[in-house]
Amino acid sequence: MTELLIIADPALLAERQAWLASLSDERRLAGHTLDAYERDTRQFLAFLTHHLAAPARLKDIGNLRPADLRGFLAARRRDGAGARTLGRGLAGLRSFLRHLERKGLANAAGASSVRSPKQPKSLPKPLSDRQAIAVVDAHEQLAEEPWIRVRNAAVLTLLYGCGLRISEALSLTPADFTGSPTSLRITGKGDKTRIVPLIAPARVGVEDYIKLCPFPLGADKPLFRGARGGPLQPAIIQREMQKMRGALGLPDSATPHALRHSFATHLLAGGGDLRTIQELLGHASLSTTQVYTGVDSARLLEIYDRAHPRA
């Protein structure tokens, strides 16, 4: 308690304790979240006390400016805090200020005007080669109906074998597979069109599905159908993938999108270059592909040293 008294006066500490109690009793926040908010606000009060050269008071909290909050975030960043930690700390401070605002003790508008740190992009972990091959195997599918098993395998093979988004795979039509094609024309985000190679296992998987599908497939109608004949919905494939996680002992990160991620990662590991992978994925910028495949600067230098004539 002595340490807390140094960083803030008793009135401010009492309000902070009341706020924490309300989070626990009324909002039922998880214990680890409460611990984090307690720690974040304690660090902020310590920063404010150092900034003011005196223990922080309720009046000081009421007079907070956005620059004070930005200064706190900058200090925490210098101490090594990452974007997620900073974002959580700012969320806790906003909550505390709203608590004080309801009592007429502070104005929370300043905190609301401070932008949260940009969070790093989060991607599912790629599956191993063995895991990905098992997921797209028609014999590993769990549906009872044979045509649904080959349907699911065909969709998943397109995600892993061609790097398609699930929405792109489900927008394909029978016309796209006329004449045993070796490539597909895909319209992705922003109506951007790209050509992707159609590997033989993916084409054969679709052909097997077409043979077994019990519904008439118009040339320009959706290729993949649900159990009642309507267009197949992404949620169905996501649910099937969830079942397969349990059956095959896969991690929770094994989602349909993880197959597209695995496609890119395995291509890179096999010697594929980033620019080609960018085109195959339909990414607008190379930096997105770099993040997507987990390529860091050291890996780029390694590629440069191996490939450049003057390296």
pLDDT at 265: 87
- DSSP secondary structure, 240-304, as one string: HHHHHHHHHT--TT--HHHHHHHHHHHHHHTT--HHHHHHHHT-SSHHHHHHHTT--HHHHHHHH
* Catalytic site positions: 165, 189, 257, 260, 283, 292
Contact call for residues 224 and 151 (beta carbons, < 8 A): yes
pLDDT at 217: 94
The tens-digit pLDDT sequence of the chain (311 residues) is 445 556 788 899 999 999 999 888 877 777 788 888 899 899 999 998 888 888 889 888 888 888 888 888 888 888 888 887 888 888 888 888 888 889 988 887 777 777 777 765 566 688 999 999 999 999 999 999 999 999 999 999 999 999 999 999 999 999 999 998 999 999 988 888 999 999 999 999 999 999 999 999 999 999 999 999 999 999 999 999 999 998 899 988 899 999 998 998 888 888 888 888 888 988 877 777 777 666 545 555 666 666 666 65
For CATH 1.10.443.10, list the domain ranges present in the chain. 129-258
- The answer to whether 153 and 256 have CB atoms below 8 angstroms apart is no
Q: Which CATH class is domain 129-258?
A: mainly alpha
pLDDT at 1: 41
Location of each CATH 1.10.150 domain in the chain? 2-112
Measured CA to CA, the distance from residue 178 to residue 198 in angstroms comes to 13
Residue 218 and residue 62: Cα distance in Å, rounded?
A: 67
Which of the following CATH numbers is that of domain 2-112: 3.40.50, 3.30.420, 1.10.150, 1.10.10? 1.10.150
What's residue 7's pLDDT?
73
Distance from C-alpha of 97 to C-alpha of 114, rounded to nearest angstrom: 13
Ramachandran angles phi, psi of 184, nearest 5°:
-125, 140
Q: Look at the block and give the residue holding tokens 């159990």.
A: 227
